[in-house]
């Protein structure tokens, strides 16, 4: 299936279990892969037949920067649900949320949650 990938978007948010995370905030990275048929948009050079990735970016930005979740799993779910609800052309979606600096003394490049969701057919 065709896809549009929004890679390594950087946001500042206040997500986490610890009060310091909710108060101080930190950087988060989000990747979104949107699976759908890009053929009609490509054949017709028509923005109405695709997902406007600038709008999708701002949808994600608003969720990450204006909402607050304890778990990055919940953040990823909210992003996926919002994009699937907004863009009915999307058949499947993959969201990856990385918290590069978890608040504990472990040395690694962060923790990432990755989810894959499919549109539920009615």
* Residues assigned a catalytic role: 99
The Cα–Cα gap between 71 and 44 comes to 41
B/e letters for 78-98, b = 16+ CB within 10 Å, e = fewer, are bbbebbbeebebbbbbbbbbb
Give all strands of the β-sheet with 92-99 in edge-to-edge order. 3-13, 26-35, 92-99, 111-118
């Amino acid at each position: 299936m065709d896809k549009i990938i929004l890679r390594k978007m950087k946001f500042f948010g206040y997500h986490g279990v610890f009060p310091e995370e909710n108060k101080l905030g930190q950087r988060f990275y989000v990747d979104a892969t949107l699976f759908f048929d890009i053929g009609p948009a490509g054949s017709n050079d028509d923005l109405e037949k695709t997902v406007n990735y600038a709008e999708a970016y701002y949808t994600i930005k608003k969720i990450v920067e204006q909402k607050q979740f304890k778990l990055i799993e919940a953040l990823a779910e909210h992003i996926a649900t919002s994009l699937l609800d907004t863009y009915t052309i999307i058949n499947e979606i993959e969201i990856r949320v990385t918290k590069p600096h978890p608040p504990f003394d472990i040395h690694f490049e962060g923790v990432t949650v990755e989810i894959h969701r499919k549109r539920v057919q009615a």
